[in-house]
């Protein structure tokens, strides 16, 4: 018990405290090392994912450009003066040839880098030279064999001096081997990502092991402190009592009594917070959608920080607009998420602009008092009506570039303190990293797919802004339906945003339809119409393949897009295509888009018809209610027809 007889209590206290402080410092260093390592490795993994995914995208671009060149060349060689001018076609040919060459060169350059064990992305180099894999080398050999012939056929196309037969052979080879090239790239990507993930796990295990060792040492020295300090002090008080100087009832520390409970719980809380933060860091290193991470964060710190609502607003339109994009709320705010999601405001008209400029947290402990005497903004009105009384606002900044705002709010007043701000600041920074990666990945995938849809529309110059108009009509219909009792629990802001995002992909399958059918000014023959109908299943197939690849990485994005692509030509009475579904067998999203698509198609000029007036178009749609269209949706359309007519007029004004 008395191993340090020659040392005073104060010296023992200083020594033990110094050791404990040192161990705590080492523990914090290990924790932040783990944090920095995960952020760094996550960033490295993102670069690898983006670069390797770009290889697959480039193979698709190569095949698309080859097909496009063959189509244009076919038209030029039999040009009869109809349709687009010869100069216009030649310009399209030159532009596509240039794009094909650039894509081929970019693919070759990146592939050479991958073979040498590194990739370069935005002037950043990521190495994986430590990888040793016979399977990878075998894939390289198979890839080189196919790529040699693939590249040879691209060169044939690039010469632009071939007969249609030669061009057809080269284009056919590229189309037939494109999927093989994609599969090989996917295998290369999978092997490299597994290697990168394993390397990350090794480093994490090492740092975790160091942290555990430090915790064990800390426990040992805590016991040592108890033996060298608390027991001698207890003995001291007992000795004082024996000679009548002190009363044992007041002098003896109650190690198991009430006095030490606050200290025990405070220490326990610190370690629980530390564990929660480590769990968040682990989530950040996984490819998990941000909405899932936000829910995990919401449930992780309720015991330590008083909040009942977390909201994330993202900056849009080149920094002009801020939009409520993600929400996680307690049950007491049952309508808060639905009312807030999708709400937009001009940053310059709100105090959030000052938060972003200052890059500092803002604490409001009485929201009622804060808004008193100020112009009531829509979002503040909703927050107050839903019971929010106080909040902490953090700007989300990455490399001096603001990407949004995060709010931690409570249903009680005067609950936030300085320590809450400091603790949540760490959480906010972690959220920012995960959020930026999630947005980047989803936007990259969807933007690439939408670009293909836009390219399909541009093959027909008469369609103009069709995608944008029908997208707006689709969103309006979804918004009005969400206010009806039948769909108020089905259509929320997430659904509305999704239908706006994916409705332009409804005709993406038309990329597979030949120009002579797609652009035919007259009525299609029975055989031609059967070919045209395949654009629905082809569109679903394209989006389903994209979604399956994403599922391998823990994501699924295109579920609604698949519903829309396959179902927007199904009829309510079961006479539509491709599957002959009827009634509510047809997905709701497809039924909404069907109405929006036809409304714009009827009011727009096409090669085979004039543009009908709004009333003429409406009469046609009403006549087809219960046959072509869901009658409930048509009733909602008619109920809000003034708004749709106003939007139609705005479209016409913009075109003039």
DSSP per-residue codes, 439-487: HHHHHHHHHHHHHHHHHHHHTSTTSTTHHHHHHHHHHHHHHHHHTSTTT
The pLDDT value recorded for residue 243 is: 32
Give the residue carrying structure tokens 């108890």.
Answer: 226
**Residue 284: pLDDT above 60?**
no
Across 439-452, average pLDDT: 50
**Residue 653: pLDDT above 80?**
no
3-state secondary structure of 362: strand
The pLDDT value recorded for residue 233 is: 57
What tokens does 650 get?
Answer: 């705005």
- Give the confidence band of 251 by pLDDT, cuts at 50, 70, 90: very low
Distances (CA, A) of 573 to 140, 300, 562, 625: 53, 50, 21, 10
pTM of the model: 0.46
**Are the CB atoms for 348 and 326 separated by under 8 Å?**
no
Q: Over 615-655, what HEC string results? A: HHHHHHHHHCECCCECHHHHHHHHHCHHHHHHHHHHHHHHH
Q: Cα separation of 591 and 563, whole Å? A: 10
84 C-beta neighbours (distance < 10 Å), count = 15
Q: Which of 49, 92, 574, 458 is nearest to 287 (CA)?
A: 49
Q: Cα separation of 603 and 466, whole Å? A: 10
The pLDDT value recorded for residue 577 is: 94
- Give the confidence band of 11 by pLDDT, cuts at 50, 70, 90: low
Radius of gyration of the chain, Cα coordinates, nearest whole angstrom: 32
pLDDT digits (tens, 9 = 90+) for 614-649: 999 999 999 999 999 999 999 999 999 999 999 999
257 C-beta neighbours (distance < 10 Å), count = 9
pLDDT digits (tens, 9 = 90+) for 383-424: 998 899 999 988 888 777 888 888 889 999 999 888 788 777
- Give the confidence band of 593 by pLDDT, cuts at 50, 70, 90: very high
- Give the confidence band of 257 by pLDDT, cuts at 50, 70, 90: very low
pLDDT exceeding 90 applies to what percent of the chain?
Answer: 18
Q: Cα separation of 160 and 113, whole Å? A: 29
Higher pLDDT, 85 or 432: 85
Higher pLDDT, 246 or 264: 264
**DSSP letter assigned to residue 416:** -
pLDDT digits (tens, 9 = 90+) for 526-547: 999 999 999 899 888 888 887 7
Q: Please state, rounded to an integer, the average pLDDT across all residues of the chain.
A: 77
Q: Cα separation of 305 and 283, whole Å? A: 20
Across 31-54, average pLDDT: 69
The pLDDT value recorded for residue 178 is: 83
What tokens does 73 get?
Answer: 């060349």
- Give the confidence band of 137 by pLDDT, cuts at 50, 70, 90: confident
Across 474-486, average pLDDT: 92
**Residue 191: pLDDT above 90?**
no
Instruction: Give the highest mean pLDDT range of 132-141, 169-178, 286-295.
Output: 169-178
| CB-neighbour burial class of residue 573 (10 A; exposed 0-12, middle 13-18, buried 19+) | middle
What tokens does 371 get?
Answer: 């808004």
- Give the confidence band of 575 by pLDDT, cuts at 50, 70, 90: very high
**Residue 197: pLDDT above 60?**
yes
**Residue 592: pLDDT above 90?**
yes
438: Cβ contacts below 8 Å, ≥ 6 apart:
289, 290, 293
624: Cβ contacts below 8 Å, ≥ 6 apart:
none
**Are the CB atoms for 540 and 566 separated by under 8 Å?**
yes
Strand-pair partners of 311: 327, 407
The pLDDT value recorded for residue 1 is: 39
């Amino acid at each position: 018990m008395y191993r340090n007889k020659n040392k005073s209590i104060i010296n023992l206290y200083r020594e033990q405290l110094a050791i404990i402080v040192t161990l705590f410092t080492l523990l914090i260093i290990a924790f932040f090392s783990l944090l920095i390592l995960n952020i760094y490795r996550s960033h490295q993994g993102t670069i690898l994912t983006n670069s390797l995914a770009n290889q697959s995208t480039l193979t698709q671009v190569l095949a698309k450009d080859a097909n496009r060149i063959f189509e244009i060349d076919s038209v030029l060689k039999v040009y009869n003066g109809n349709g687009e001018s010869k100069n216009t076609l030649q310009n399209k040919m030159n532009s596509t040839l240039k794009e094909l060459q650039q894509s081929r060169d970019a693919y070759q350059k990146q592939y050479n880098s991958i073979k040498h064990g590194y990739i370069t992305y935005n002037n950043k180099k990521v190495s994986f030279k430590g990888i040793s894999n016979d399977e990878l080398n075998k894939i390289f050999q198979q890839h080189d064999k196919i790529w040699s012939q693939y590249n040879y056929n691209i060169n044939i196309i690039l010469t632009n001096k071939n007969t249609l037969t030669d061009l057809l052979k080269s284009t056919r080879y590229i189309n037939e081997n494109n999927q093989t090239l994609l599969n090989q790239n996917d295998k290369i990507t999978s092997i490299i990502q597994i290697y990168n993930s394993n390397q990350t796990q090794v480093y994490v295990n090492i740092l975790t092991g160091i942290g555990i060792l430090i915790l064990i040492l800390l426990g040992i020295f805590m016991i040592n402190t108890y033996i060298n300090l608390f027991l001698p002090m207890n003995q001291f008080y007992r000795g004082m009592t024996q000679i009548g100087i002190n009363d044992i009832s007041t002098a003896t520390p109650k190690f198991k009594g009430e006095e030490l409970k606050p200290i025990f719980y405070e220490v326990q809380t610190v370690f629980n917070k530390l564990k929660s933060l480590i769990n968040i860091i682990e989530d950040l290193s996984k490819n998990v959608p941000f909405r899932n991470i936000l829910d995990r964060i919401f449930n992780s710190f309720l015991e330590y920080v008083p909040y009942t609502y977390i909201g994330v607003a993202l900056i849009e339109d080149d920094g002009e607009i801020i939009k409520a994009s993600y929400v996680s709320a307690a049950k007491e705010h049952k309508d808060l998420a639905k009312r807030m999601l999708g709400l937009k405001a001009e940053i310059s008209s709100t105090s959030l602009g000052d938060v972003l400029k200052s890059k500092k947290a803002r604490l409001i402990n009485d929201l009622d008092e804060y808004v008193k005497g100020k112009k009531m903004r829509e979002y503040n009105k909703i927050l107050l009506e839903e019971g929010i009384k106080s909040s902490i606002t953090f700007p989300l900044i990455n490399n001096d570039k603001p990407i949004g705002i995060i709010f931690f709010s409570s249903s009680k007043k005067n609950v936030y303190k300085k320590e809450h701000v400091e603790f949540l600041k760490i959480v906010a920074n972690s959220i920012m990293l995960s959020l930026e990666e999630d947005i980047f990945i989803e936007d990259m995938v969807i933007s690439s797919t939408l670009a293909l849809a836009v390219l399909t529309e541009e093959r027909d110059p008469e369609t103009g802004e069709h995608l944008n108009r029908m997208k707006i009509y689709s969103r309006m219909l979804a918004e009005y339906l969400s206010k009806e009792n039948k769909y108020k629990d089905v259509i929320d802001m997430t659904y509305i945003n999704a239908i706006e995002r994916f409705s332009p992909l409804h005709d993406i399958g038309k990329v597979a339809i030949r120009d002579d059918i797609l652009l035919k000014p007259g009525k299609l023959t029975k055989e031609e119409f059967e070919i045209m109908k395949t654009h629905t299943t082809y569109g679903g197939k394209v989006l389903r393949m994209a979604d399956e690849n994403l599922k391998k990485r823990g994501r699924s994005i295109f579920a609604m897009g698949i519903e829309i692509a396959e179902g927007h030509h199904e009829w309510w009475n079961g006479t539509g295509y491709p599957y002959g579904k009827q009634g509510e067998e047809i997905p709701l999203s497809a039924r909404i888009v069907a109405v929006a698509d036809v409304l714009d198609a009827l009011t727009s000029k096409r090669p085979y018809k004039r543009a009908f007036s709004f009333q003429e178009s409406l009469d046609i749609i009403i006549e087809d209610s219960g046959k072509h269209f869901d009658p409930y949706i048509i009733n909602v359309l008619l109920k809000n027809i003034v708004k749709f007519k106003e939007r139609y007029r705005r479209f016409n004004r913009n075109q003039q």
